[in-house]
Amino acid sequence: MNDQYPFSGSVESFSDGKKEFEGNVKDGLREGLWVYYYPSGQKKSEGCFKNGVKNGTWNYYAENGSSLGTENYKDGTRLGNQVMPEEGDTTAPEEGVELVS
């Protein structure tokens, strides 16, 4: 890779042979759909990035596959409150592993 040009392309991260996350990078920033996984391989969360920040609807899942809720973002700012499937559920979903540049 040339240091003058930030990386663009698809990325995947594995730990102990298990996928942690996958997504795309454009000019060194996360872009488009990113998916994070539990060590079991079950989807943990998914959502889009635009210019390196969360944008649009993010969905969060329990390890058994049930929905933990959603969050909506615009240009990295969360809009409103987290929407949970059951009234009174205050479980805060984890986003997963962050990409370190």
For residue 90, the model assigns a pLDDT of: 42
For residue 99, the model assigns a pLDDT of: 37
Concatenated DSSP letters of 25-92: EETTEEEEEEEEE-TTS-EEEEEEEETTEEEEEEEEE-TTS-EEEEEEEETTEEEEEEE-SSTT----
For residue 83, the model assigns a pLDDT of: 73
For range 34-62, the mean pLDDT: 97
pLDDT tens string 70-79: 999 999 999 9
Please tell me the distance from the alpha carbon of residue 42 to that of residue 9, in angstroms, as a whole number: 24
91 or 78, which is more confident: 78
Please state the domain extents for the chain: 9-80
pLDDT tens string 16-40: 999 999 999 999 999 999 999 999 9
pLDDT beyond 70 at 1: no
